[in-house]
Structure 1
Amino acid sequence: MMDVIVIGAGPAGLAGAIASANSGLKVIVIDEFIKPGGRLIGQLHQERSGEWWNGIEESERLHQEAITLSVDIRCGVSVYNLEKDGDLWNVHTSIGTITAPFVLIATGAAEYPIPLPGWTLPGVMSIGAAQVMTNVHRVQVGKKGIIVGANILAFAILNELQLAGIHVDRIVLPEKGPLSGKAGEPEEVMKSLLHAAHLAPSPLLRIGSRFMKNDWFRKTGMKFFPKNGVKVNGTPLLLRKAAIEVIGMKQVEGVRVADTDANGTIIPGTETVYEADFVCIAGGLYPLAELAAVAGCPFQFIHELGGHVPHHSETMETPLEGLFVAGNITGIESGKIAIAQGTTAGYSIAKHAGKCGAVIDEQLNQAIQNVRLIRMQAAIQFNPDIESGRRKMSELWEKLYEKPANLHSTQKLG
């Protein structure tokens, strides 16, 4: 029997497995993809320091470290249920039921779809799919493309596509409506982008962005936003144009767009067609938390964390004994933070298992501090108010679940 079952072989899952195994626990990691790494294996970008973040290399490092610690990694395995049976968790998978006293759910995030007419044509994909095809499978997604949706994820992957020699012609917004939400509202999009203004490619844009944080300047700026857009790494960002249809017979041939007013409302009679042979839809990310729900874990909707997230503490434990979470299931952040959270969860599991004595307390505290430090140093955040979201969850946990220190118990392993 295993001591720990980790669901998800992404950055959080692998890091959690490493910390648990390093503390003397027997760990198995399962993932439905054909190889470990999760979203890491699609990432490739240059950081503010000038160093390159190569997700494939980072995932390989974590994979090899886990193997060295005798972690059992099973890929191509799906989980469809998990349930508590006394002191043990039964995790039901496509290869049978696996049992252990501790489970770490590190299932990551999924992309929000933004449906629009013509989105089933060959050549239409999510922005994340374009990233994986480009960086993992080395497949050129097309020669001339359009991104529908403007957010931090879209801009990060735009740069990766450009590095691969793929031409992205324009970035436009989705049509305003209940399915696109704030992604179709120009002013809301601008507000979200201003949180990353320090990364703007020119001093003029960086200085101008400070003024745009003022409500009056921002509303005025939206009224007079350049018709030809503002270039992001050479690609025009058109905040006042909305995609209303992807056109083509057997595959993508272009995108029909229309001008909008400052509120995102379509202006009749302004339609035009931009030619393209591929379209990327960028709706953003949300926590992939279904398995925690199946397990019976309570949830809270916290907008700043990206949606519904399971109740969890800073040590990554949930209210269900033996169940832990880490990574984007707890809120949308970077791969580096997912790794730090996974490490925290691994040491937290080891502490609950009664391993390593006083040493584990120091390791756990250091891991928690590391999460805070990495978050503070992050150049950008997918959700700019992430600190507010984390505080909300911390306050909720303290209110509902905190106990005096002398009432905390640990679960011993034989």
Structure 2
Amino acid sequence: MNKIIIIGAGPAGLSAAITIAQNGEEVLVLDEYMLAGGRLLGQLYEEPTGNWWNGITESENLYEKAIQLGVDIQLNTSVYDMEKQNNQWIIYTDNGTYFTKNVLLATGAAEQPFAIPGWTLPGVMSVGAAQVMTNVHRVKPGKRGIIVGVNVLSSAIAMELQLAGIHVKCITLPKKTKLAKESGDPLEVMNSLLHVSHMAPSKFVQLGSKLMKNDLMKKMGISFYPKNGIKMWDIPIMLRKAVIEIYGDKVVEGVKIATITPDGEVVKGTEENISADFVCITGGLYPLAELAAIAGCPFYHIEELGGHVPLHNEKMETTIEGLYVAGNITGIEGAKVAMSQGVVAGFSILNHIQDGKFNNDIEKSIKEIEQTRNSAYIQFHPNVEEGKHKLKKHWENYIGKELCKMVK
């Protein structure tokens, strides 16, 4: 029997593997990391219901279920190339070459940090690295840290670091540069911050966010925003100060910050030093889609989805027969959405193999994605629905052009 290959053992990949194995097909899952779970591994937060979402526990449950169903999971295995020959995919890894007719890319996302003077000092890391060190390896990145970059990812991880007894002194902006882009623009940052205000324990912050309904109110909010920030989880969120340098003799000793105008310009003479023994830099996440590019899948840049995403439809099918995608490669969203997408991809692959037997399951699971997305506690991109609509239009246009070619 020709095994279906899934690249990526995160929430999307494991959910797809379970779906496929439950319906009688053999599955091989490849992942370069030493543990299954992907970005699930670092997640820990309290949901509105009062229940705790523990990514390690969720990962272990998915992994154990997959193993019990006979899924072959090969960890510590890097995929460096793939190509299609004679209706068969050839997958090249550092542990050998594999062949299959159906591949699911569930490669997830990567962080995109930005350069700050001093960012090569030991003690500077991405915010995701600090999350994994703390939640997975149980090693504190330091005692007193500063997070540079205010977004959904940094807000959620800052809360997790605080829970682990790590003092996050503040979350602040980077200096506005071409590389930092919107990350250094207070108004743009406020727009993203408003979408995690429901996570704040402060009722004042939650109420204030509801008043920011239009651009005028947002501009007023930035103009009168306290220069020392507003606290969330006892962490000052600074939208009117920016880090202009990370300093230290051989290791991180602190950062130099300065007051900035509502437009993000540094106010000269306002520089001051804040001591710290580690610094996290975050510019958000982007879809990790290099393998889809190698496979020849067309791409579109959709800001609402986090960057360039491979063209695909609601069934997680790409334009190339036998190639499917699921999870953050399709757009940056939470783990629960990724799991739902993995189920859809699994049914789509089964449907292709077993002659349309799973059409009803596909339709049902597509609706479950929407329900999961609408109820998501954390939304990395507030306009994800608009992004999905743009992607659907691109798909329709592409299919229309291909049909025209066939007619000609």
Q: TM-score range by the shorter chain?
A: over 0.9
Partners of 2:196 and 2:247 lie apart in 1 by: 33
CA contact (8 A) 1:337 1:371 kept: yes
Deviations 1:324-349 (A, max 9, x none): 00000000000001111011100100
Deviations 1:59-118 (A, max 9, x none): 111111111111110001111111111121101111111000000000000001111111
Taking structure 2 as the reference length, the TM-score comes to 0.96
SS in 2 for 1:315: coil
CA contact (8 A) 1:172 1:238 kept: yes
SS in 1 for 2:373: helix
Give the aligned residue type for 1:361: N
Deviations 1:349-387 (A, max 9, x none): 0000116x64x2222122111111100111231000000
Where do 1:304-383 residues align within 5 Å?
Answer: 304-354=304-354, 358=357, 360-383=358-381
Choose 195-204 or 378-387, whichever is displaced more: 195-204
Partners of 2:134 and 2:377 lie apart in 1 by: 24
Number of residue pairs the alignment of both structures matches: 402
Where do 1:61-140 residues align within 5 Å?
Answer: 61-140=61-140
- Name the residue aligned to 2:233: 233
- Name the residue aligned to 1:407: none
Gaps of 5+ in 2: 402-408
Partners of 2:394 and 2:41 lie apart in 1 by: 34
Gaps of 5+ in 1: 404-414
Partners of 1:202 and 1:43 lie apart in 2 by: 22
Give the CA deviation at 1:402. 6.8
Partners of 2:391 and 2:27 lie apart in 1 by: 28
SS in 2 for 1:270: coil
Partners of 1:43 and 1:211 lie apart in 2 by: 30
Alpha carbon RMSD of aligned pairs, Å?
1.4
Choose 1-10 or 324-333, whichever is displaced more: 1-10
- Name the residue aligned to 1:406: none
Partners of 1:122 and 1:273 lie apart in 2 by: 18
Give the aligned residue type for 1:135: N
Partners of 1:287 and 1:248 lie apart in 2 by: 33
Give the aligned residue type for 2:384: I
Give the CA deviation at 1:22. 1.4
Partners of 2:16 and 2:196 lie apart in 1 by: 30
- Name the residue aligned to 2:389: 391
Partners of 1:177 and 1:329 lie apart in 2 by: 27
Give the aligned residue type for 2:337: I
- Name the residue aligned to 2:153: 153
- Name the residue aligned to 2:213: 213
Partners of 1:52 and 1:283 lie apart in 2 by: 26
Partners of 2:276 and 2:263 lie apart in 1 by: 27
Give the aligned residue type for 2:110: A
SS in 2 for 1:300: strand
Partners of 2:337 and 2:164 lie apart in 1 by: 26
Partners of 2:132 and 2:287 lie apart in 1 by: 19
Give the CA deviation at 1:3. 2.8
Seq. identity, %: 55
CA contact (8 A) 1:8 1:107 kept: yes
Give the aligned residue type for 1:78: S
Partners of 1:175 and 1:387 lie apart in 2 by: 31
CA contact (8 A) 1:304 1:383 kept: yes
Partners of 1:402 and 1:105 lie apart in 2 by: 25
Give the aligned residue type for 2:166: I
Give the CA deviation at 1:132. 0.2
Partners of 1:71 and 1:335 lie apart in 2 by: 21
Partners of 2:155 and 2:194 lie apart in 1 by: 13
Give the CA deviation at 1:49. 1.3
Deviations 1:177-214 (A, max 9, x none): 11101000001100111123333323332222222232
